Structure 1
């Protein structure tokens, strides 16, 4: 049997829940059912696994650690700054300063190269990506509008069906009440007739006894 056979409520037609006491009773039943429903743990296998957005970039993962509850940690730019040495530096200090200078020089060269590439190809890439995003947005909006229309059609058809069904049920209920009233009236008439028949039967028995006594004389 289909599960629809067990549905006995017509939300678009029934007005019982307009009563605050009935609404409170229904809410109490819902809360009791929710308390009996088993809760799903965070590590349940049916839940999707946590996806690492940047699994191959440990530096970026560390930079975004705790986001958005924690502010993003700033990038340490001290290793790209020009080195500073004293008036009489040691050999280790000079080697460290040279290494830091090479790092800064390489960083600046890479930034210049990236800036050049960005200025050459960035505008076109940006326009192409915007075109792709606009196409995706148009498609998603069209899908959303179709879904909203489908939801509206379903709700409209449900409302029409429930209102027609509710009217039919109201007619059947009225007919049932009429039949119950007719049955009660018939039972009352039968009781009244039984009350009238009993004295007639007693009188009939009395007359019958008188006739038998007269016949014996």
Structure 2
């Protein structure tokens, strides 16, 4: 994957993050990177244009336009509930009175339906509401159970990560100690080799040294 960053860190093992100056140095590096970063093109051009009105319904769209134009909100019209008589010029017309009667019957039926709805609500609303609340409670229990399972999995992942890092840290410490021991041993060997080379060089320059040393060892 292009641009993939491999994080080479063991947060549970590494030390020194809380030492003085470390946080400031990290912020300084970020600021330096931000200062040098100069985008030459729109890095969001591969994304589709933002449609901020996709969620709007026609009613919401009209209301937003009203607010933008600073127009007052329309008041609730009670005209459909009125029972006006025929106009003064049609008081003697039967058709005009028939329209008024039809309107009255429609209003009467509308009120009858409202009464019926109220009676149905009084009879069935409470049990339906209780079932709705029970459904919400069941949904909440299911969601809570899923949340607890996710938290358990997250905790398990964290424990596994800590365990692996702790184990890896112990291995690193052991390898580091072994490396230090090998380096020290190599240094001792190099020192012995240097001393041996110096001794051989002295023998080549003065062979009597070897004879005197041999005699002293014999005695």
TM-score computed with the length of structure 1 as normaliser: 0.59
Determine the C-alpha separation between the residues in 2 that align with 1:97 and 1:16: 94
> Contact 1:12 / 1:163 at 8 angstroms: preserved in 2?
yes
**Matching residue of 2:175:** 176
> 2-side partners of 1:26 and 1:124: how far apart?
70
| Gaps in structure 1 of 5+ consecutive residues | 1-5, 44-48, 53-60, 209-217
84 and 50 in structure 1: CA distance in 2 versus 1, 3 angstrom threshold: same
Counterpart position of 1:134: 133
- Is the 2:13–2:165 Cα contact (8 Å) retained in structure 1? yes
- Kindly provide the CA deviation profile for residues 165-197 of structure 1, in whole angstroms up to 9, marking residues without a partner as x: 232122112112212211221232132122202
Relative contact order, higher structure (CA 8 A, sep 6+): 2
* Paired residues for 1:49-64 under 5 Å: 50=55, 62=59
Query: Residues 178 and 14 of structure 1: is their aligned pair in 2 closer, same or farther, counting only changes over 3 Å?
Result: closer
Task: Give the length in aligned residue pairs.
Answer: 182
RMSD: 4.5
Is 1:83 aligned to 2:80, yes or no?
no
1:129-155 Cα deviation digits (max 9, x unpaired): 213312311220121221122023113
1:20 corresponds to which residue?
Answer: 23
Residue-by-residue CA offset, 1:57-84 (whole Å, 9 max, x unaligned): xxxx6489538x9697543223433437
